[in-house]
A and B are shown apart, each in its own frame.
Chain A
Amino acid sequence: MVAVEAFQLLFVLLFAPLLYGWIAIVRAFLSNRTPAGLLQPWRNLLRLFRKETVLPEGHSILFILVPPVFFSVIAGASLLVPFLLVSPPLAPVADAVMLVGLFSLARMTMALGAMDVGTPFGDMGARREMMVAFLTEPATLMILFTVSLWSGSTSIPSIIRSLTDGHDPFHPSLLIAALAFILVFLGENARIPIDNPTTHLELTMIHEAMLLEYSGPLLALMEWGSMQKLLLYLLIGIDFFAPSGMPEDPTLLSVLAGSGILAGKLLLLGSGIALIESLFAKLRIFRVPEFTALAYLLSTLGFLLHFVLEV
């Protein structure tokens, strides 16, 4: 039992930077550039860990505490999301609302850390991040409710079971909720229509602006945490909308087969993200409410359509 949880944690820790690398490879391929390689995010992280930490003037203890707290909250969340087995040992705690709460906690610590030093860019980034977060939250909850209409519970294992047991796989409400989930995913993980993760222009930054003052191992922890968060969101999405192929019994062979299928799904989703990022431009910050309103609209439509079409 402990082995399964340890394996889950290890999987997320090791695989998250690789997924980042994969997205970068597909993006490079789509824009006719030579990719830096799958291991580049790992190289970046290791280099950051070897560097010394430079602390900004006027920082408090909070500034140093934030990266480890952020990192461990996200890593803790990776114990709760079922992806190797339908029902991991910590399943009774694996409630979707709980996960949303954990992510909000991580985001709040990050915003506090950015505001601690009192530089204008950190402040601005933190405010923008909180704005995007509070705009996407209603949509996130509506998606959760839509998905849990089948199982009558927000616990992720029972959601997966209710979706894999039925014999007709064609749910319009889930399809619309999945569209909304893509929008929420892009907003929550600071991906392209909302925020450009590779930008160097401070005035357009959201997520990066919060990390401007961090350096060395502290920065590495923040980056690594964000990579894990991206992976976890994808895993939650797989749990909700494409859970087939996930093993129920904890034998070594079925877990290995299940993780093979999972890796395939993740590669596919990573390419999808890269495609979205290559096709769309970053939105103006004042258009973000429109984007999140669309996400909320889609999730609520899915919720309503369930009662009209699928009862």
Chain B
Amino acid sequence: MAPHTHILLNRLVGFLGSALLLSSFAMLSMRRMSSLVRIFALQGLLLTLGTLSVAIVAGEPHLLFSALFTFIFKVLVLPIILFRLLERLRIRGEVEVLLNVPTTMVVGLFVVVFSFALASPISELASTVSRGLIGVGLAALLLSFLMMITRKKAITQVLGFLGMENALFFSAINATYGMPMVVELGVAFDVLVGTFVFGIFFFQIRETFESFDLKHMDNTQTE
């Protein structure tokens, strides 16, 4: 491949990585449930494009299949399931937060600084073309984690969990050109089944507590 297009594609990977990081911040700042799911689908799309461009830059054909699976699962199947869940549970309201949005953003910024500092020695050890993005993946991971911590409702926490899986996948691709195919498929199906189970859980939670607020679950009796 000509060196010029190579540099351009490398830049493209960097750009997609930063867009992924931005989408994590967008998930943190969104107030409406349906736009949260939409951003999750967008994140899946960015992940697909990122995987595709790493596959082309590094010449790793198996990553093309990963990109395909990512597209099918994270852009099509999971968002559709989530939208149907939102519809059937009649969730339209706003996201409830424990910490207000600007404060969460500032905390998120510290998380980003922390993970960039943490990842810089790791990226020096890696030998992939896009090793600079390990820090970005780590930051996105911790941001999704932050989202899980600061949200009250069960369904936002699940979205945080799915975002975390996205970020993990992204870091894996940039650190080692992805995990073996079997592992990737296994994780993808795990996440899918997990989402189904969560969906059933939501109905159970609502029937038992008549609300999705997880603080009610603290008061249940344990024997």
- Residues of A whose CB lies within 8 Å of any CB of B are 167-168, 170-173, 175-176, 289-290, 293-294, 297-298, 300-301, 304-305, 307-310
Contact = CB atoms under 8 A, between A and B. Distances in A.
Contact of A290 (B21, B101, B113, B119): B101
Contacts of B108: 297
B105 A304 contact: no
Nearest to A309: B14
Q: Which of B18, B22, B101 has the most CB of A within 10 A?
A: B18
Interface in B1-54: 4, 7-8, 11-12, 14-15, 17-18, 21-22, 25, 29
Interface string B102-116: 100110110011001
A290 B105 CA distance: 9
A21 B106 CA distance: 39
A179 to B, nearest CB: 8
A300 B15 CA distance: 16
A284 B109 CA distance: 25
Contacts of A168: 7-8, 11
In the A-B complex, the 8 residue pairs with the closest CB atoms: A170-B11, A172-B18, A309-B14, A293-B102, A172-B15, A309-B132, A172-B14, A308-B135
Given A170-B12, A297-B105, A308-B119, 7 more contacts: A167-B4, A170-B14, A172-B14, A172-B18, A297-B106, A305-B18, A309-B132
A305 B14 CA distance: 9
A66 B207 CA distance: 66
Contacts of A176: 18, 22
B133 interface: yes
Interface size class of B (residues with CB under 8 A): 20 to 34
Nearest to A170: B11
Contacts of A171: 11
B146 interface: no
Q: Is the interface of A mostly helix, strand, loop or mixed?
A: helix
B25 A175 contact: no
B136 interface: yes
Contacts of A167: 4
Contacts of A289: 102
A290 B104 CA distance: 11
A308 B8 contact: no
A304 B14 CA distance: 13
A261 B217 CA distance: 63
A168 B4 CA distance: 8
Q: Which of B8, B12, B15, B29 has the most CB of A within 10 A?
A: B15
A77 B147 CA distance: 44
Contacts of B25: 297, 301
A301 B21 contact: yes
7 contacts: A168-B7, A168-B11, A301-B22, A301-B25, A308-B120, A308-B133, A308-B136
A105 B17 CA distance: 39
Nearest to A298: B22
Q: Which of B105, B113, B119 has the most CB of A within 10 A?
A: B105
Given A294-B29, A297-B25, A172 B112 contact: no
Contacts of A305: 14, 18, 21, 136
A173 B132 CA distance: 13
A175 B11 contact: no
B143 to A, nearest CB: 11
A309 B131 CA distance: 9
A301 B18 contact: yes
